[in-house]
Amino acid sequence: MAQRYALLFLGLASPAMLVCSWFPGFVAELCFVLLVMAFPAALIALAVTRNGKLGPLWVPLVALTLILEGCGVAMLLLRGHVLEGPWFGGFPVGTAVQIYGLWLGPLLLVALAYGWTFSRWELREEDLRRFDARRNRSKGDAEG
């Protein structure tokens, strides 16, 4: 089910982003930013679904989407306000949002989520037996 929603979003968001780029104004820019920032989470969701389900990874994916969306909207609202401040961590706030929010935050979140769920993705003994059985069946079909 999650795989279908991810495919649906990716299929509809791509032309919608193109249409948003044709129109001027804050609403079109906001729609574009929201679609673009949700795109990586949808791609990850598409990649990590098993049997159509996300399992426990839905929590970090929602968090990733919220971080990206918040950073995108913040950068949209902060554009043009570089020199007058405010400053955070030695950078103008817009730059700090890009460095800390769009790069460092998702990097840590995805690394932690992968670390917490690593055992879900490793090969188990039963997987190896199943692969071996498939290989032996395909060898038998090729010989016969």
Parse the chain into domains and list their residue ranges: 2-143
| pLDDT classification of 135: cutoffs 50, 70, 90 | confident
Distance of alpha carbon 100 from alpha carbon 107, whole angstroms: 10
Cα 113 to Cα 119: distance, rounded to the nearest angstrom: 11
For the segment 43-55, the average pLDDT, to the nearest whole number, is: 81
Rounded Cα distance between 63 and 53, Å, is 17
pLDDT digits (tens, 9 = 90+) for 70-116: 989 988 888 876 777 677 777 888 888 888 888 888 888 888 888 87
Chain centroid to Cα 50, Å, comes to 16
pTM of this structure: 0.70
- State the sign of the Cα–Cα–Cα–Cα dihedral 78, 84, 87, 90: positive
